[in-house]
A and B are shown apart, each in its own frame.
Chain A
Amino acid sequence: MSEAAVKSKTVRFSVTRQDSPDSAPYQEEFEVEYRPNMNVISALMEIRRNPVNTKGENTTPINWDMNCLEEVCGACSMVINGKPRQSCTALIDQLEQPIRLEPMRTFPVVRDLQVDRSRMFDSLKKVKAWIPIDGTYDLGPGPRMPEKKRQWAYELSKCMTCGVCLEACPNVNSKSDFIGPAPLSQVRLFNSHPTGEMNKAERLEEIMGDGGLANCGNSQNCVQSCPKGIPLTTSIAALNRDTTLQSFKNFFGSDRV
Chain B
Amino acid sequence: MAGNREFFNRKLHSLLGVIPVGVFLIQHLVVNHFATRGEEAFNSASHFMESLPFRYLLEIFVIFLPLLYHAIYGLYIAFTAKNNTSKYSYFRNWMFYIQRITGVITLIFLVWHVWETRIQAAMGADVNFQMMENILANPFMLAFYIIGVLSAIFHFANGLWSFMVSWGITVSPRSQVISTYVTLGIFVALSIVGIRAIFAFV
Contacts and interface: CB of A to CB of B under 8 A. Distances in A.
Interface of A: 82-83, 168, 170-171, 173, 175-176, 205, 208-221, 224-225, 231, 233-234, 236-245, 247, 250-251
Given A82-B87, A237-B168, A251-B1, A217 B81 contact: yes
Which residue, A170, A176, A234, A243, has most C-beta atoms of chain B within 10 A?
A170
A212 B81 contact: no
A220 B4 contact: no
B88 A212 contact: no
Contacts of A219: 88, 92-93, 96-97
Nearest to B5: A210
13 contacts: A83-B87, A168-B88, A170-B97, A175-B79, A208-B3, A211-B6, A214-B11, A215-B10, A217-B81, A220-B92, A237-B170, A240-B165, A241-B168
A239 B168 CA distance: 7
* Those 7 A-B pairs whose CB atoms lie nearest each other, nearest first: A241-B168, A214-B10, A219-B96, A220-B92, A240-B168, A250-B2, A173-B82
Contacts of A237: 165, 168, 170-172, 176
A204 B115 CA distance: 44
- Range of interface residues on chain B? 35 or more
Contacts of B90: 220-221, 224
Given A219-B92, A219-B93, A231-B173, A170 B4 contact: no
A214 B171 contact: no
Interface in B119-157: none
B80 interface: yes
A217 B2 contact: no
Contacts of A218: 92, 96, 162, 165-166
A239 B165 CA distance: 10
A209 B88 contact: no
A214 B7 CA distance: 6
Given A208-B3, A214-B10, A218-B166, A171 B80 contact: yes
Interface string B18-47: 000000000000000000000000000000
A233 B91 CA distance: 14
Contacts of B170: 237
B88 A241 contact: no
Given A208-B4, A214-B7, A234-B172, A221 B167 contact: no
Contacts of B84: 168, 170, 221
B202 interface: no
A216 B88 CA distance: 17
Contacts of A238: 168, 171
B7 A247 contact: yes
Contacts of B65: none
Given A221-B88, A221-B90, A240 B7 contact: no
Contacts of A215: 6, 10
A170 B168 contact: no
Contacts of A205: 3
A170 B173 contact: no
Which residue, A82, A209, A221, has most C-beta atoms of chain B within 10 A?
A221
Interface in B143-201: 162, 165-173, 176
Contacts of A209: 4, 6-7
B68 interface: no
A225 B89 CA distance: 12
A238 B2 CA distance: 21
Given A217-B162, A219-B96, A210 B88 contact: no
Which residue, A219, A231, A233, A242, has most C-beta atoms of chain B within 10 A?
A219
B72 interface: no
A234 B1 contact: no
A240 B166 contact: yes
A171 B81 contact: yes
Nearest to B94: A219
A225 B88 contact: yes
Given A209-B6, A217-B162, 5 more contacts: A168-B88, A208-B7, A237-B170, A238-B171, A251-B2
A170 B81 contact: yes
